[in-house]
Amino acid sequence: MNRITAAIVAQAATQGDKLAREIMERTGEYLGTGIANIVNLFNPQIVVIGGGVAQAGGLIFDPLKRTMKKRAFPVPAKAVKIVTPSLGRNCTVIGAATLVLKDIFKSAKVVSS
């Protein structure tokens, strides 16, 4: 069974496929609208976009940022930084492992002598 992934669509868009480019553009616009809502409600200093979306680079980030700036309030839109995770592709696994370890150490009893 063949599966279409974000990576496949991004690769096709990079190679000039018109439909793939439209999918990436529209996806960026939808994400930009959602992020604009978050910026308007919570005024974050930074928004981190990870996973397969982050691997698409400018194909996603250009329409995302353009749409966010158009839909968010001007001052917070100008202040927020939209970035990819510094941990790269492993950020989800590292985050999950961190939560597990935190839970383990939280529930561990400290024995004093």
Spell out the per-residue pLDDT of the chain, length 113, in tens: 688 888 889 899 999 999 999 999 999 999 999 999 999 999 999 998 887 777 788 999 999 999 999 999 999 999 999 998 877 667 677 778 888 888 888 776 655 55
What domain count does the chain have? 1
State the residue range of the domain holding 94. 6-107
Residue 1 lies in a domain: no
pTM of the model: 0.76
Tokens standing for 92? Answer: 């989800």
The domain that holds 68 is classified in CATH as 3.30.420.40
Contact 62, 10 (CB under 8 A): no
